[in-house]
């Protein structure tokens, strides 16, 4: 079977590794900036092996971070605050 590529690009990205403790959890994140994400960033939670492409509108969406990162509303408070600051 012949492989059909939709794209196969190499791009320089900027990756930031952040570790912080919140009121409930410790967060270990890798934040990848790329022109491919249309102003959003790829946020990888290295402890839970979950990731999402996130912009300011996503952070404000009720329940979005809780769903994507499998956190309770209380657990996601610190993550939401950090991402709000990062994406401002």
Spatial CB neighbours of 37, under 8 Å, sequence gap ≥ 6: 53
Q: Is residue 1 pLDDT above 90, yes or no?
A: no
Q: Give the model confidence (pLDDT) of 21-35 as tens digits.
A: 999 899 999 999 999
Cβ neighbour number for residue 59 with a 10 Å cutoff: 21
pLDDT in tens, 35-66: 999 999 999 999 999 999 999 999 999 999 99
């Amino acid at each position: 079977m012949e492989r059909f590529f939709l794209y196969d690009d190499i791009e320089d990205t900027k990756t930031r590794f952040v570790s912080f403790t919140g009121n409930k959890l410790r967060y270990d994140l890798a934040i990848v900036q790329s022109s491919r994400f249309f102003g959003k960033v790829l946020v990888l939670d290295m402890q839970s092996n979950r990731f999402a492409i996130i912009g300011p509108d996503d952070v404000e969406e009720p329940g979005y971070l809780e769903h994507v990162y499998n956190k309770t509303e209380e657990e996601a408070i610190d993550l939401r605050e950090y991402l709000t600051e990062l994406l401002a």
